Structure 1
């Protein structure tokens, strides 16, 4: 089983100086690809110096864009994705590959509590995990972990779905579940990152991560989001109509608006469900 290791990197020269030697020592036969996402430091030079294949972008396109470039260029049967900041250890790749050999199509390294950047990030990730578990009917231990191994042909089926930003782990995980490709989790410790601080911006990316919650639902099964919302509007409309009929003896415009909203939301859910099915069908052609 040929293995390619893809590391998206933006200004991660210091992290790569620690990560790449360990990768080369423990996985000498693996193809190592560093996708330099418009770095302004010595990221590309450090990667080249350690024998990695470097794909450089003239400007930053985003973490997800780097993942897609690396996945297209990888020649291995299995692609391992890991961060370039030193948080993920080459020693844990074997655990992912061993699990993959059991028949899974994707294996994700699930972080424990100490692997979360801070309390608020840990709380948000816990919320994402619970929501995704409810949507899929499977236990999802870490929806946003960037440390994972996947069969290359399976992963490439969903490149058209992956965003250019930070939520590629969410999208790829839900896409595998949606297409009935088995996914497994293994618990791994995560080290403290080295080099520059996190590229996550609390305010801007906080809103972006909040939108991930809605994206999870619409990506996997839109009706699970739209049907309850439509039912809520219908029940509110029914209650309001009952109250106005009892007190005023009439059917009001607000009741009509609430009933109309319920129907529209439900129909949007049906259309979204069809669009989602077509999106996955495109990837399987």
Structure 2
């Protein structure tokens, strides 16, 4: 049991890291997913892009994200490209649930214990070292948007060095834990980029302070679309529909209030009250005191 708030956060972050068994399972399916795509489509490149491999995933919640760069001619409809990927994966895994969930195709291995999300992409630019792809929009019924996943991972890595090694990824993992434990319909990628942006803007970092400040920023800007800090792709949306946005806004307001109460208690050396509000903030999953 943690005695201080700072110890509570350190214990919590340890619990959030995916297990070695999860990492091994993901690695074991990589070749079969790639092979399934190559057997049906022209694959130029295939690489993991998301939080699981990038050090910001949450145990039992983060999917394994990958982008498949296709050499086929880009169709007019992004749904067509998603269907190509779904059909290729369904042919290889006929007893596994394979479904479209924009902007990706999900493969639910083990009934969902391990989920791969494969995003079809078409390379549109590789100038100045930036690899930019057209990928399906996450918005229901949407077309195409620009994405630069490697550049965005590089941005998080850059921010992770300021103001102390590891803080951008720690804050990203914390805000994603809030998302998963409180069922908040907001993009994990959006939260990760906002967390990195926040850490880049500060001179000192403390978990209880900065999760509060980040949530208050999200509340105050009302989950506004975010400009790409690398200037390589489209603006990032927090949610994929108006109904999800309303739900997410309601939950971020509640979260910001709880985080502020936890911070106020921390500043007043009232650890019991701080732990109480942090447990509420993280859906009953924060360590006990």
TM range (shorter): 0.3 to 0.5
Q: TM-score, normalised by structure 2?
A: 0.32
- Could you say which structure has the larger radius of gyration? 1
TM-score, normalised to structure 1, is 0.32
